[in-house]
Amino acid sequence: MSRLVILGSTGSIGTQTLDVVRQHPELFQIEALAAGHNTERLAEQIEEFCPKRVVVADKAAADRLRSEVRQPVQVSYGEEALLEAAAGGDADYVVSAMVGSIGLKPTLAAIEAGRTIGLANKETLVTAGHIVTERLRACGVTMLPIDSEHSAIYQCLQGEARSSVAAITLTASGGSFRDRTRDELKGVTVEEALNHPNWSMGAKITIDSATMVNKGLEVIEAHWLFQMPYEQIKVLIHPESIIHSFVQFADTSVIAQLGLPDMRVPIQYALSYPDRLPLAAEQLDLAALGKLQFKEMDFARFPCLRMAYESGRAGGSMPTVFNAANEAAVARFLRGEIEFLHIETIIEQVLAKHQPQAEPGLEAILEIDAWARRQAEAVSF
Ligand SMILES: NC(=O)C1=CN([C@@H]2O[C@H](COP(=O)(O)OP(=O)(O)OC[C@H]3O[C@@H](n4cnc5c(N)ncnc54)[C@H](OP(=O)(O)O)[C@@H]3O)[C@@H](O)[C@H]2O)C=CC1
Ligand SMILES: CC(=O)[C@@H](O)[C@H](O)COP(=O)(O)O
Ligand SMILES: [Mn+2]
């Protein structure tokens, strides 16, 4: 029996993680749940999964939740409580599925406490990859990828010598605007941007997918997860999201992982690794699909991917700035304050203003993250 903490339980990944738990009650038990403000959904999760403790973002949410739940559960709020939930209790596994670099500190707390990590929150590795990987090594903790591309690569690498890997390729759907020219991106609405062709995900990652920032974050995530130089990390457009990613080996062999776009597959793999469990989900039918398509990545069409590679290669504090500027810009777009194309302008301007630091510690990372957000908020159009 594995005892789980889910950070971000009310989100897209959180609820799908609970669906996996629902399918295997004999294997997984919920120790604690953490969420932001969606107390209605959290109350339902408490009723069904009986966690010992739950944490929400602030006092108002905690008060609301206390009035909504009938069964005994410890309800607390704020950062300290979040870190305690990530590290405390009898849990052995923490699913890191909050959105944004706010997930960094609780993920580090879980690592320090020796919990196995299932990582959906890619911003954690992008923001502080050098710190997270050093802490994983020092604490002897395993981190299993949940992000679909990284889970695919992880699966393709099983039993393979790292020295035989020539390159890894992350596939990209192209996002909500993949059939539009840059000219046609002027004036697109939030609603249009949130209409992902293949995946149903939270708002922030769906916008990231449309700007190709998501793939950029994933390139940096792959660099840290697989200790792979950027020259060996490639991106290919694959509109169907059936091949979740693939590895090319020295002997020219290619191993890919395929499946319908269903995040419960990589989530369950991360929870059950190294075993594979049955999952009540639709089967892939290649004959019914008939064909799969691929297209070279166009870096001029998607400048955010170019900026992500540049930030990743520069290293140090640059990926922190890339991520934080994007988070603030996406929030502004979702609030209706800026145009879609302003997201990339903001990232570019904030990156240009930054004085890079080579090996920032955690305090410096948090300050740089906050600085980049302030700069991104201040860009006017
Ligand atoms: N969705 C997907 O298919 C995939 C997602 N990912 C990554 O997984 C992560 C989560 O994505 P997704 O599930 O789509 O996002 P969602 O927006 O659907 O969910 C985010 C979760 O984080 C919680 N949260 C937000 N702010 C706070 C806070 N201040 N304190 C505590 N909890 C907070 C939300 O709580 P509440 O809603 O209650 O406020 C919610 O539970 C992201 O890093 C994303 O990039 C990676 C691959 C695929
Ligand atoms: C499901 C998942 O892992 C997402 O990160 C997904 O990859 C988004 O799709 P694209 O970024 O390929 O549009
Ligand atoms: Mn992904």
The complex scores an ipTM of 0.99
Is 206 labelled a binding residue?
A: no
**Burial of 288 per CB tally in 10 Å (0-12, 13-18, 19+):** exposed
What pLDDT score does 98 carry? 98
Cα–Cα–Cα angle for 15, 272, 236, nearest 5°?
75
Cα–Cα–Cα angle for 212, 361, 378, nearest 5°?
50
What pLDDT score does 88 carry? 85
Contact 270, 151 (CB under 8 A): yes
Q: Closest Cα to atom 12, ligand 2: which residue?
A: 172
CA distance 82 to 208: 26
Asked whether 9 lines ligand 2 (CB < 6 A), one says no
Q: Which residues of the chain have pLDDT under 70?
A: none
DSSP string of 331-361, one letter each residue: HHHHTTSS-TTHHHHHHHHHHHH----SS--
Q: Is 371 strand, coil or helix?
A: helix
CA distance 260 to 243: 9
Asked whether 119 lines ligand 1 (CB < 6 A), one says no
CATH class, domain 315-381, is mainly alpha
**CA distances (Å), 123 to each of 70, 100, 161, 204, in order?**
35, 5, 28, 11
Report the residue among 119, 148, 219, 221 best suited for mutation to probe ligand 2: largest number of ligand atoms under 8 A from its CB: 148
CATH architecture of residue range(s) 2-145: 3-Layer(aba) Sandwich (3.40)
Beta carbons within 10 angstroms of residue 74's beta carbon: 13
Nearest CA-CA partner of 307 in 330, 323, 295: 323
The residue ranges of every structural domain in the chain are 2-145, 150-259+282-299, 315-381
Asked whether 98 lines ligand 1 (CB < 6 A), one says yes
Contact 30, 50 (CB under 8 A): yes
Instruction: Locate the ligand 1 atom nearest the alpha carbon of residue 35 and give its number.
Output: 32
Identify the residue whose tokens are 């570019």. 348
What pLDDT score does 89 carry? 87
Contact 144, 216 (CB under 8 A): no
pTM recorded for the entire structure: 0.98
Identify the residue whose tokens are 């997930």. 103
Instruction: Locate the ligand 1 atom nearest the alpha carbon of residue 206 and give its number.
Output: 14
Instruction: Locate the ligand 2 atom nearest the alpha carbon of residue 197 and give its number.
Output: 13
Asked whether 199 lines ligand 2 (CB < 6 A), one says yes
Identify the residue whose tokens are 């990372």. 365
CA distance 205 to 149: 14
Q: Rounded to a whole number, what is the distance in angstroms from the first to the last CA of the chain?
A: 54
Residues in Cβ contact with 49 at an 8 Å cutoff, skipping those fewer than 6 apart: 18, 21, 30, 33
Distance 172 CA to ligand 2 centre (A): 7
- Residue 52: phi, psi to the nearest 5? -75, -35
Instruction: Locate the ligand 2 atom nearest the alpha carbon of residue 148 and give its number.
Output: 3
Distance 193 CA to ligand 2 centre (A): 14
Q: Closest Cα to atom 11, ligand 2: which residue?
A: 209
**CA distances (Å), 161 to each of 46, 164, 165, in order?**
43, 6, 7
Asked whether 209 lines ligand 2 (CB < 6 A), one says yes
- For strands 93-96 and 2-7, give the pairing: parallel
What pLDDT score does 176 carry? 98
Identify the residue whose tokens are 């990284």. 150
Q: Closest Cα to atom 1, ligand 2: which residue?
A: 148
Q: Closest Cα to atom 48, ligand 1: which residue?
A: 147
